[in-house]
Copies of this chain bind each other. A is one copy, B any other.
């Protein structure tokens, strides 16, 4: 029997799980709730029990599983150690070691969830066919993952791919969650785009379709207005694209990937967004015309289980 592999994506509300063929075919996916009480001590036993039950249901023995990969919402050190995982209540533990013990010793490998999602997109998503990609996730925040030679660059302190906190904007005055000022996340996340729109509306009397949403405006509203040709909304997106293009050029001149894969809720704006960012990226990357292409992510919320599973191959 061909070996299977398991992908586990641990989120603050639910744990997503998937059973894969080693060629990337997803056989089965399901979820279990994340029990965060008592410092999240039930999370891994719940995951292990659910995996064992599912395997039995599918008639797969643990001996036929090559391993299980796990994405964790926080920094993971090279040996799998997690100092702190705020969303789960975990502190100073090695979840990959613990889960391996709970799964009768099969190999378990863990990584930061954003990095793992990047690996998933490289394997079976928008980055399929490439070995070196950088994923940029534009969601509530801005996350990222750097994949070189099909491996995650996690970094020595778990900061690899933390591109949302690259300082890009000198004239910013508000603080980012990280304590910095002018981070990419402050302007290019869904939250940041909405904030930029509120600022632009407040700073001018210009009529704009954005005004119907008032202070409740969200990133999707801004992008819809921009696509429909609204001038002020396009000015907002011009600012966003400027800083995104700048950050991509900085990343290219460090690791020079084959492709950037843009994901997260904001990326639903599709080619409208990537065409815009491509222009700014080119403008800041004059040293060579031969450089990374921009692609859209394809796996959505499943990127995490794909990438988690890919870690053990």
Name A's B-contacting residues (CB within 8 A). Answer: 132, 134, 146, 148, 153-163, 165-167, 170, 176, 178-180, 246-247, 249-258, 284-288, 290-292
Minimum distance in angstroms from A259 CB to a CB of chain B: 9
- State whether A253 touches B166 (Cβ < 8 A): yes
Most chain B C-beta atoms within 10 Å of own C-beta, residue among A156, A252, A258: A156
Which of B176, B250, B291 is A167 in contact with, Cβ under 8 Å? B250
Q: How far is the CA of A257 from the CA of B292 in the complex (A)?
A: 22
Q: Which residues of B contact A180 (CB under 8 A)?
A: 284-287
- State whether A258 touches B156 (Cβ < 8 A): yes
User: Given A153-B148, A170-B170, A258-B156, do A253 and B286 touch, yes or no (CB 8 Å)?
Assistant: no
Q: Which residues of B contact A247 (CB under 8 A)?
A: 250
- State whether A157 touches B253 (Cβ < 8 A): no
Q: Which residues of B contact A161 (CB under 8 A)?
A: 253-254
Q: How far is the CA of A246 from the CA of B254 in the complex (A)?
A: 14
Interface of A is mostly: loop
Which of B132, B179, B255, B258 is A146 in contact with, Cβ under 8 Å? B255
Q: How far is the CA of A26 from the CA of B124 in the complex (A)?
A: 46
Please, could you name 28 A-B residue pairs with CB atoms under 8 Å apart, sorted by A?
A146-B254, A153-B255, A155-B255, A156-B256, A156-B258, A156-B292, A157-B256, A157-B288, A157-B291, A157-B292, A158-B256, A159-B256, A159-B288, A159-B291, A161-B253, A161-B254, A162-B253, A162-B287, A165-B253, A166-B249, A167-B249, A176-B286, A178-B286, A180-B284, A180-B287, A250-B254, A254-B254, A255-B255
Which of B132, B156, B163, B179 is A156 in contact with, Cβ under 8 Å? B132
Chain B: CB-nearest residue to A256: B155
User: Given A166-B250, A250-B166, do A256 and B160 touch, yes or no (CB 8 Å)?
Assistant: yes
Chain B: CB-nearest residue to A289: B157
Q: How far is the CA of A158 from the CA of B253 in the complex (A)?
A: 9
Q: Which residues of B contact A178 (CB under 8 A)?
A: 286-287
Chain B: CB-nearest residue to A179: B286
- State whether B165 touches A287 (Cβ < 8 A): yes
Q: How far is the CA of A256 from the CA of B161 in the complex (A)?
A: 8
Closest 8 CB pairs of A and B: A155-B256, A179-B286, A159-B256, A180-B286, A178-B287, A160-B256, A156-B258, A165-B287
